[in-house]
Amino acid sequence: MPLDQKGFINYDRKLIKPFKQLKYANEYLNENPKKILEFYGIEDLSRFKIIRFSISNSFYRSGECIDGIYTTDMSALNVLFDSGKITMRDGTKKNIKYIRKANKVTSEELEKFLEDPYFMWKGVYL
């Protein structure tokens, strides 16, 4: 996590690279759908929802969406896929909040998680 102005500027520069790579990957996907279908053994790409996101090792800028590309943090993503639940505190009372409904994460749950990461919710880290 950046600690000063210089750190924020440097970290922002590091985030630019994966955004450029995802932009190029998206262009390739749009220009070469047959190659993608063959590579993955898929017959109909329209059955899938492609959610573009960049993973970092910091909460910094997580939850932002720039040009259709979300930013998230690896530890938060692990919570979604591993346990799917978090403990929230309201004073001395603990509440368990589920961030996915079943063992398998749906595309809707992933997109909701990327748009509104749990660590931004009130009461998560009290």
Is residue 126 in a domain?
no
Average pLDDT over all residues of the chain: 80
Instruction: Classify 75 as helix, strand or coil.
Output: helix
Is residue 125 in a domain?
no
Q: Indicate the pTM of the whole model.
A: 0.71
Is residue 21 in a domain?
yes
- Residue 58, pLDDT score: 73
The residues, ordered by sequence, that sit 6+ positions from 62 with a Cβ below 8 Å of its Cβ are: 56, 71, 72, 73, 76, 117, 119, 120
Structural domain including 58 reads: 5-120
Check residue 69 and give left, alpha or beta (phi > 0: left; psi -120 to 50: alpha): beta
Q: How would DSSP label each residue in 10-56?
A: HHHHHHHHHHHHHHHHHHHHHH-HHHHHHHHT-S-GGGS----EEEE
Total domains in the chain come to 1
- pLDDT tens digits along 31-66: 988 888 898 888 888 888 888 888 877 777 778 888
Residue 5 has pLDDT above 80, yes or no: no
Burial (0-12, 13-18, 19+ Cβ within 10 Å), 34: exposed
